[in-house]
């Protein structure tokens, strides 16, 4: 497991820490699975203890607690796994969704040093005031309130000092474990676990880049420029780097604070409707959605405007994937499980040799539960919970963005139901879905396409008479020839020619060997060297050289 000179003492220390935490939470079988114990010299009493007395908790609970204790990388890993029911059994999904990302804040001194090192100046020069006590603290960063010299209120998001180095070590350890498990656990081979870890590493590194988070906020602001119900705070780019983000501070009532909204006189049903409208537009129109819509990231401001924050985690649904989802939705509406399976195969979500009958049966049973129900009686969270065991049982490999989208919809629906018991998320999606279906048929940029197509046809009709008459004249004279070129055929013929030559040489070599064997007895090689002896020796040397050349040629071609 621990291999190569690149594994530093720090890595070994982290390996030991991970092993201690896993064993302490009764997960020592994971330590055995990746063969950590022989390399780390763990005390035998510690290893013996987990085998004899495991904590009185379920395995999913023990895993969640272990991930929380292991820190930011593993907390984020658990949160990602909670959106992948194709990888993790339903019981673990339910527990991993409870992972908490709130940790005690760092002292002010190292945070101040981080700000000053990134922004190139003293905090007293950069801000009129900055609160030493954070507004919020998470595993990757913490947020402080501040006031700029122009009087603007801002929040300063600061990456925890040293967190990048810690995460890089953990990612290397996870990559090692994934590569080892791939060769040991048959189920892992179905999902390419090392590639999943590489994708997770890329996602986590992106979340550490606050510069990109600022650009995400700008993109949301541009997308909703014509929608007055959503407000995205401004980014102060002159005070933003990849480790420090300074953003306009917005104030309002948390979107799930029902009593607070009522005291302020806000219409809860309208707020729920606006939240649903925001998500539907993000998914079906923009293909770019806020992937962490928990209530702490959304505030209701005067005029029932929703203010959004924290754009570090976003999801992307490309045009092709949206079209695939729409076709899948049509198959669901038609209650056609065969079309659903066909569409899932086209999407690459399941392999073609899947047990179609079993999968179609599971899908039919699932759809029968909702047959005849009004849309407002169908809950996205409940549907997701029932889809998860099917996905796990049939090894579905849906894009991770879809599971992230499902989690996002479930969270928004939960907030909507809290604000409005009659909240119907699907009702808000229908107009957007019809519009998207229309775009699929006629094209979103149909005007530009018609102009381009018209120009192409105009050019084609202009040159058609000239080219057509020229071709007909050639055909009439018998000069029209059809030329076919097979790309790559020359290389194949060369290889075939070399193979034939090698076979010919082999046959010739065999004939010479047989001939020498028949000729040698006719000569007395013990007599004085004569012409016959020279010919025999020369023939033997020639045959030997020819054989050596043939062996070398075959060896070189295999190399």
By annotation, the residues acting in catalysis are 292
| Measured CA distances, 428 to 149, 230, 271, 401, 499 (Å) | 44, 16, 13, 21, 68
Nearest CA-CA partner of 346 in 332, 362, 327: 327
- For residue 296, the 8-state DSSP code is G
CB atoms within 10 A of CB 535: 13
Ranges assigned E (strand) in 371-480: none
Q: In what order do the strands lie in the sheet with 253-254?
A: 230-231, 305-308, 298-301, 253-254
Question: Cα–Cα distance between 452 and 455 in angstroms, integer?
Answer: 5
**Contact (CB, 8 A) for 230 and 305:** yes
Rounded to the nearest 5 degrees, what angle is found at the Cα of 399, between the Cα atoms of 394 and 401?
A: 130
Cβ burial of 213 (10 Å; 0-12, 13-18, 19+) is buried
| Measured CA distances, 444 to 281, 431, 438, 450, 456 (Å) | 15, 16, 8, 11, 20
Packing angle of the helix pair 72-81, 59-70 (nearest 10 deg): 140
Question: Cα–Cα distance between 253 and 307 in angstroms, integer?
Answer: 10
- What are the b/e assignments for 264-300, b being 16+ CB within 10 Å? eebebeebbbbbbbbbbbbbbeebbbbbbbeeebbbb
Question: Cα–Cα distance between 382 and 91 in angstroms, integer?
Answer: 14
Helix runs in 334-370, H state only: 337-346, 356-370
**Contact (CB, 8 A) for 76 and 139:** yes
* C-alpha torsion sign, points 549, 552, 558, 559: negative
Cβ burial of 31 (10 Å; 0-12, 13-18, 19+) is buried
Question: Cα–Cα distance between 203 and 210 in angstroms, integer?
Answer: 13
Nearest CA-CA partner of 291 in 64, 72, 83: 83
Packing angle of the helix pair 319-333, 425-442 (nearest 10 deg): 120
Packing angle of the helix pair 400-419, 380-393 (nearest 10 deg): 150
**Contact (CB, 8 A) for 412 and 279:** yes
Nearest CA-CA partner of 305 in 256, 253, 248: 253
| 305-308 vs 230-231, strand pairing mode | parallel
Q: Is 350 helix (H, G, I), strand (E, B) or coil?
A: coil
């Amino acid at each position: 497991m621990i291999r190569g000179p690149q594994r530093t003492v720090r890595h070994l220390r982290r390996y030991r820490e991970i092993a201690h935490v896993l064993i302490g939470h009764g997960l020592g079988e994971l330590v055995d699975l990746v063969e950590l114990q022989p390399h780390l010299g763990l005390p035998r009493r510690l290893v013996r203890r987990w085998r004899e007395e495991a904590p009185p908790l379920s395995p999913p609970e023990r895993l969640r607690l272990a991930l929380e204790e292991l820190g930011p990388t593993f907390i984020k890993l658990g949160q990602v796994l909670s959106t992948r029911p194709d990888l993790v059994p339903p019981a673990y999904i339910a527990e991993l969704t409870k992972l908490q990302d709130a940790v005690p804040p760092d002292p002010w001194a190292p945070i101040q040093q981080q700000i000053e090192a990134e922004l190139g100046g003293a905090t007293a020069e950069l801000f009129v005031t900055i609160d030493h006590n954070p507004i919020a603290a998470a595993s990757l960063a913490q947020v402080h309130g501040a006031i700029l010299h122009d009087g603007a209120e801002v929040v300063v998001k600061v990456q925890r000092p040293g967190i990048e180095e810690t995460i890089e070590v953990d990612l290397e350890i996870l990559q090692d474990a994934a590569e080892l498990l791939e060769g040991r656990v048959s189920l892992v081979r179905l999902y390419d676990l090392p590639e999943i870890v590489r994708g997770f590493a890329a996602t986590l590194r992106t979340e550490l880049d606050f510069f990109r988070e600022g650009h995400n906020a700008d993109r949301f602001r541009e997308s909703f420029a014509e929608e007055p119900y959503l407000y995205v705070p401004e980014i102060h780019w002159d005070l933003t780097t990849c480790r420090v983000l300074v953003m306009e501070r917005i104030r309002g009532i948390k979107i799930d604070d029902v009593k607070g909204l009522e005291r302020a006189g806000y219409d809860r049903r309208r707020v729920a409707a606006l939240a649903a409208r925001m998500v539907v537009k993000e998914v079906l129109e923009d293909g770019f959605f806020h992937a962490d819509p928990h209530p702490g990231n959304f505030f209701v401001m005067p005029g029932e405007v929703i203010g959004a924050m924290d754009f570090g985690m976003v999801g992307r649904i490309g045009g092709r994937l949206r079209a695939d989802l729409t076709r899948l939705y049509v198959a669901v509406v038609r209650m056609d499980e065969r079309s659903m399976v066909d569409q899932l195969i086209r999407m690459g979500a399941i392999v073609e040799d899947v047990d179609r009958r079993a999968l179609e049966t599971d899908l039919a049973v699932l759809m029968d539960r909702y047959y005849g129900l009004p849309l407002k009686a169908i809950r996205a969270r409940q549907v997701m919970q029932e889809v998860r065991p099917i996905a796990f049982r049939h090894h579905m490999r849906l894009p991770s963005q879809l599971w992230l989208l499902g989690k996002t919809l479930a969270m928004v629906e939960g907030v909507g139901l809290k604000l409005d018991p009659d909240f119907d998320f699907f009702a808000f999606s229908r107009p957007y879905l019809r519009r998207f279906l229309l775009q699929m048929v006629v094209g979103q940029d149909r005007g530009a396409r018609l102009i381009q197509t018209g120009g192409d046809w105009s050019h084609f009709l202009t040159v058609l008479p000239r080219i057509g008459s020229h071709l007909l004249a050639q055909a009439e004279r018998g000069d029209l020839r059809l030329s076919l070129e097979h790309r790559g055929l020359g290389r194949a013929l060369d290889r075939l020619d070399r193979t034939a030559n090698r076979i010919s040489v082999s046959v010739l070599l065999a004939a010479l060997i047989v001939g020498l064997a028949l000729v040698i007895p006719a000569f007395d090689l013990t007599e004085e060297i004569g012409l016959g002896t020279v010919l025999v020796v020369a023939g033997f040397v020639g045959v030997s050289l020819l054989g050596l050349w043939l062996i070398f040629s075959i060896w070189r071609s295999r190399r």
